[in-house]
Structure 1
Amino acid sequence: MLILILYFFIFIVFLQVLYYLVVFGKFAFAKAQQTTAKKISISVIVCAKNEEENVAKFIPILAEQDYPDFEIVLIDDASSDNTLEVFEAFEKQYSNIRLVKVENNEAFWGNKKYALTLGIKASKKDYLLFTDADCYPTSKDWITAMSSQFTMQKTIVLGYGGYERIANSFLNKLIRYETLLTAIQYFSWAKVGRPYMGVGRNLAYKREEFFNVNGFINHIQVRSGDDDLFINEAATAKNTAISFTPESFTYSKPKTTYKDWLIQKRRHIATAGHYKTFDQFQLGTFYCTQLLFFVLSIILLSFQFEWIIVLSIIFVRYLCAWIVVGCSAGKLKEKDLKYWFPIVELILIFTQINIFITNLFSKPVNWK
């Protein structure tokens, strides 16, 4: 029996190494990108619901972008706080700000996709660049960096949306590692030619891509997924590019309690259940092999069965994973995470199992 477990363990590690070196290596070992400014018109779209403090801080950063031709479309999704008043003040202050006021609609109440659709239709530029109300770009060249990846063929650009660092917070490291791993995955699969998701914190596409798939209509009943489900449907090997220069990054304030972060991740994992079959399969296979790697390692080492071989295989797996995660972390300015990799990886795996089981018995909370 133990010899069969060993053979199965070797197969699982082989799959893990394939993921890290063959797939994730596409991004980890990619050459640095060059930013060449494009003369294209950009609509920056921000949808907010009860975000008065965040929009007061971050909209001026967007308005001060060093880009010759852009507008900012601010969407107030029936906020009950002073978000609309803040938006109206910015509309008076900046000539390139366009305001969209969304009233509660019985058929689409609380559905962010409905609000975004109104904002997209109100935009006047050919290319759309999205970020969230609680996000801010790292430089005045954010629009330039993201739009530089557009070509005649590449009409969708996936960017990186990271989280701020909080000193001496292990939860912060866990959140940032999960975000890093997610970015490694969607950047790598895009480079392989199988783009499957993007994040609404930093995402761009040509206006026509939205209408080519009839907007969000095919998944309008799913409250979340205005970013990843749209990309899962619209993105192809031919029309999708990635942007990973530091100037293209956006950042958000991370959750500060495990409970709040868990609620957020429950929503994200539930949305992944609506991905295309292949994308669900590759994601599921990766996470299953991660779990099985730890379980089988513990079983084999507990019985000290061929322990030298087992330890050697474990070392090879960790070396490959650490190199790929480390190179990727360097590209995305998250270098400190590579030193915490073995610990945060293990905790994240069992957190995801907890979320999956919880989602089986209750629905996650969606748009505020």
Structure 2
Amino acid sequence: MNDLLIFNHIELILAATTAGLFIIQLLYYLVTYARPLRQAKRRQMEAGQAKPAVSVIVYAKNESENLRKHLPALLNQNYPEYEIIVVNDGSTDESDEVLKTFKNEYDHLYHTYIPEDVKYLSRKKLALTVGIKAAKYDILLFTEANCEPMGKNWVSAMARNYTSKTSIILGFCAYGPHKGFFHKLVAYDNLMTGLQYISSALTGNPYTGNGRNLSYRKDLFFAHKGYYKSLSLHAGDDDLFINESATKDNTWVEYSPDSITEMAKIDRFSMWKEMKVSRAATQRYYKGWNLTFFRTESISYFLFFIAVITSIVLGILGNWLISILAGLLYTIRFSCKAAILHKSAKLLQQKPVTGWLFLLELILPLFNLYVRIYRIFRGKNDYTFRL
């Protein structure tokens, strides 16, 4: 029995490395990823009661079916003064007819059309700029035609925290509960990305946002010359603009149940892949250390996983206590992460994918690495999704 407590130098180094990586992983989840959970109740108590007039801007391109399905939820919000502006980006389907039908019933709906043959570096940025210029109110609230608020108080929840100092409100867009491993991967990626930018914003380090649920002032948009700094990129209308303009003092993050939107099902893997490639293309222009911080978490996980496997194999061949300790550390770390992500998903109105977590946490970082390499070799003019 005493021999089990005797370790050689290799076993000691491996045990120390595994334990060190275990602590790093635990800190990431207990401190960083659990932050939205810890602060949720306090944020609700601190929520404001403002009701400024709001212009909701909806981007749509060949989204006639989604407009039929999701636009009523936007048009029937419990809010005293708001308008809906749908920017129809050269749609060739029945979008225009759908919008005209809704317009006959709702006076606060407006829509504008970007001709299909208009040439511009980024059609989406042009479309959003047109919508912003058409907005009557200073408070702008953005979403897309394939998204829907999860309640009638979405506008109220997103706008209530505007003060004289607040210029940006970051929101969260959940991914719906769909069957199949691909949709579990999309949901996991969406949850992790959301927790990352929400947690960073809670510490006073906002670095990105999601255009499917995002608000800022019209004055801020023009003060930063709109999308001037990212005109050479097809994407970046949401994340890069927020990265450039968000500060500790001018940004609030809102993730109460009423504030959350939900996006429709992504039908094809190729579409999601192009969305990821598009985001990878803009991420290299981010300022700050946030991306490096979260990528370090993925690296430390893989190092920890390798250390655990090595320890188990070495323990089987030698001192089996090493195997037991490695397995115990992995179990504790996995259970901790699973519990935090499960509760966080429910907090953010998204169905948990806890049962798939073992595979998801292995596959997603590898896929993200593939996306970054793929983007590099695709060339400057071919890496973004033609939204």
TM over 0.5: yes
Relative distance call for 1:331 and 1:121 in structure 2 (3 A) is same
Q: Is the 8 A contact 1:23 1:192 kept in 2?
A: no
SS in 2 for 1:29: helix
Q: Could you tell me the TM-score, scaled by structure 2's length?
A: 0.87
The match for 2:255 is 244
Q: Which shows bigger deviation, 204-213 or 96-105?
A: 96-105
SS in 2 for 1:200: coil
1:116 aligns with 2:125: no
Q: Please point out which of 340, 346, 354 is paired with 1:330.
A: 346
- Segments of 5+ residues of structure 2 without an aligned counterpart are 1-9
1:193 aligns with 2:204: yes
Task: Please provide the CA RMSD for this pair.
Answer: 2.2
The structural deviation recorded for 1:125 is: 0.6
The structural deviation recorded for 1:107 is: 5.2
SS in 2 for 1:204: strand
Q: Is the 8 A contact 1:160 1:250 kept in 2?
A: yes
The match for 2:191 is 180
The structural deviation recorded for 1:36 is: 5.3
Q: Is the 8 A contact 1:171 1:256 kept in 2?
A: no
Q: Give the residue type in structure 2 aligned to 1:315.
A: T
SS in 2 for 1:162: strand
Relative distance call for 1:8 and 1:242 in structure 2 (3 A) is same
Q: Which shows bigger deviation, 132-141 or 323-332?
A: 323-332
Q: Which shows bigger deviation, 290-299 or 188-197?
A: 290-299
SS in 1 for 2:40: coil
1:146 aligns with 2:158: yes
1:78 aligns with 2:93: no
The match for 1:39 is 51
Distance between the aligned counterparts of 1:115 and 1:11, measured in 2? 50
Distance between the aligned counterparts of 1:226 and 1:266, measured in 2? 15
Q: Is the 8 A contact 2:70 2:146 kept in 1?
A: yes
Matched positions, count: 367
Q: Is the 8 A contact 2:122 2:235 kept in 1?
A: no
The match for 1:13 is 22
The match for 1:211 is 222
Q: Which has the larger radius of gyration?
A: 2
Relative distance call for 1:297 and 1:122 in structure 2 (3 A) is same
Distance between the aligned counterparts of 2:337 and 2:224, measured in 1? 37
The match for 2:326 is 310
Relative distance call for 1:256 and 1:80 in structure 2 (3 A) is closer
Q: Give the residue type in structure 1 aligned to 2:383.
A: P
Q: Is the 8 A contact 2:209 2:242 kept in 1?
A: yes
Q: Percent identity?
A: 34
The structural deviation recorded for 1:313 is: 2.5
Q: Is the 8 A contact 1:90 1:97 kept in 2?
A: yes
SS in 1 for 2:289: helix
Q: Deviations over 1:46-75 (max 9, x none)?
A: 111111111122222211111110011111
Q: Is the 8 A contact 1:70 1:96 kept in 2?
A: yes
Distance between the aligned counterparts of 2:233 and 2:301, measured in 1? 28
Distance between the aligned counterparts of 1:40 and 1:139, measured in 2? 19
Distance between the aligned counterparts of 2:203 and 2:243, measured in 1? 15
The match for 1:30 is 39
Distance between the aligned counterparts of 1:7 and 1:213, measured in 2? 49
1:341 aligns with 2:357: yes
SS in 2 for 1:154: coil
1:292 aligns with 2:303: yes
The structural deviation recorded for 1:346 is: 1.9
The structural deviation recorded for 1:131 is: 0.4
1:94 aligns with 2:110: no
Q: Please point out which of 145, 160, 171 is paired with 2:172.
A: 160
SS in 1 for 2:357: helix
Q: Which shows bigger deviation, 306-315 or 207-216?
A: 306-315
Relative distance call for 1:26 and 1:112 in structure 2 (3 A) is same
Q: Could you tell me the TM-score, scaled by structure 1's length?
A: 0.91
Q: Please point out which of 76, 83, 94 is paired with 1:64.
A: 76
The match for 1:367 is 386
